[in-house]
Amino acid sequence: MELKGACVLVTGSAGFIGSHLVEGLLRNKCRVRAFVRYTSQGSTGWLDRIPESQRTRMDIHRGDVRDYATVKAATKGMDIVFHLAALIGIPYSYNAPASYLETNVWGTHNVLEAARELKTQKVIVTSTSEVYGTAQYVPIDEDHPRRAQSPYSATKIAADALAESYHLSFSLPVVIVRPFNTYGPRQSSRAVIPTIITQALSGKPSIRIGSLRPRRDFVFVKDTVRAFLALAQSDRAVGQTVNIATGRELSIGELSEAILRATGSRAAVRTDEQRNRPEASEVEQLCGDASRLRDLTGWKPLYSIERGLKETIEWFKSPANSASHPSDRYCI
């Protein structure tokens, strides 16, 4: 499917990955409708940082994915829908699981149903590597069993199942995209890499994080966006679930050491018990197999973890960016 000139809806467009995806779509000459959650302040999140020359080429649509009427109105006339809107903070899902059900499951239903009624040509549904739980084997391919080790992952498993059912029951052209741990500029302080970087840059003698033991496969956001765009153009991807992964894993301890070296920080790393997940809920290892993505699109990661961290650290060094990511506050 050709992207140039396509009418594209992006839910969750004001967020970390969503705003980068909007920029990628604009570079590909798409006509973008950016669905952002309505607030009385009129904020468009990270879309505020997109240059005005590009913002004028976007149609901002305010609403809430939990409301079917606004989702359907936003979907009307669109060729492709990228569905990224979700509640994603795992610690907060322990506190408010019902809100995750409403946004992640019911919101996904609304997107799928609107696309079915309006005969949208392709729907890209964003999943997460967290649906796999702790790896039973590595690298993790798309056939790996799914295991809900947090309320968040349970809602994403449910959303994936809905997407699968809409493809099989109604022939809706769905692709389920399953990124492993995406990182980069604009990521919120609730994620581990911004947490470590902001503390390392603060000059304090120690940094506090949760468990150093879990291992993750980190994908730079520009590589993640390239994969989204490639899958949108692949007709063979319809009906498939596709990992976005590098196949390389680091423990949180190893990641911390890499960030300290890159920032020149001499801070000591301290484990903060309040940041640990409940023991049975902790996903100990995630390392992905992106063979299917490579076979469908030819995609491969262009960013090593070293290169991606360097670009991310430089972004966080900007006073304007660091101001929105305080180093002394634990965000769940």
Per-residue pLDDT reduced to its tens digit, 6-43: 999 999 999 999 999 999 999 999 999 999 999 888 88
**pLDDT score of 150 more than 80:** yes
- Residue 241, beta-bridge partner list: 176
Same domain, 81 and 162: yes
Question: For 282-288, what is the mean pLDDT?
Answer: 97
Same domain, 174 and 279: no
* pLDDT of the residue at 329: 66
- Please classify residue 298 by burial: count the beta carbons closer than 10 Å to its beta carbon, then call 0-12 exposed, 13-18 middle and 19+ buried: exposed
Distance between CA atoms of residues 42 and 36, nearest Å: 10
pTM: 0.96
Q: What is the CA radius of gyration of the chain?
A: 19
Judge contact between 240 and 292, C-beta under 8 A: yes
Residue 242 C-beta-side C-alpha neighbours within 13 Å: 29
Tell me if 296 is assigned to some domain.
no
Question: For 222-249, what is the mean pLDDT?
Answer: 98
Distance between CA atoms of residues 152 and 27, nearest Å: 32
Same domain, 232 and 85: yes
**pLDDT score of 67 more than 70:** yes
* pLDDT of the residue at 64: 97
DSSP for 161-230, written as a single string: HHHHHHHHHH---EEEEEE-EEE-TT--TTSHHHHHHHHHHTT-SEEEES-S--EE-EEEHHHHHHHHHH
Same domain, 69 and 174: yes
Q: For residue 68, what are the domain limits?
A: 7-183+219-244
**pLDDT score of 327 more than 70:** no
Judge contact between 243 and 288, C-beta under 8 A: yes
- Residue that has been written with the tokens 């305010």 in this structure: 62
Same domain, 166 and 273: no
* pLDDT of the residue at 173: 98
> What are 244-281's pLDDT values in tens digits?
999 999 999 999 999 999 999 999 999 887 787 888 99
> What are 109-148's pLDDT values in tens digits?
999 999 999 999 999 999 999 999 999 999 999 999 999 9
Report the C-alpha dihedral over residues 76, 232, 133, 304, rounded to 10 degrees: -130
Same domain, 20 and 166: yes
Judge contact between 178 and 242, C-beta under 8 A: yes
pLDDT band at 84 (very low <50, low <70, confident <90, very high): very high
Distances (CA, A) of 270 to 41, 76, 181, 252: 38, 51, 22, 12
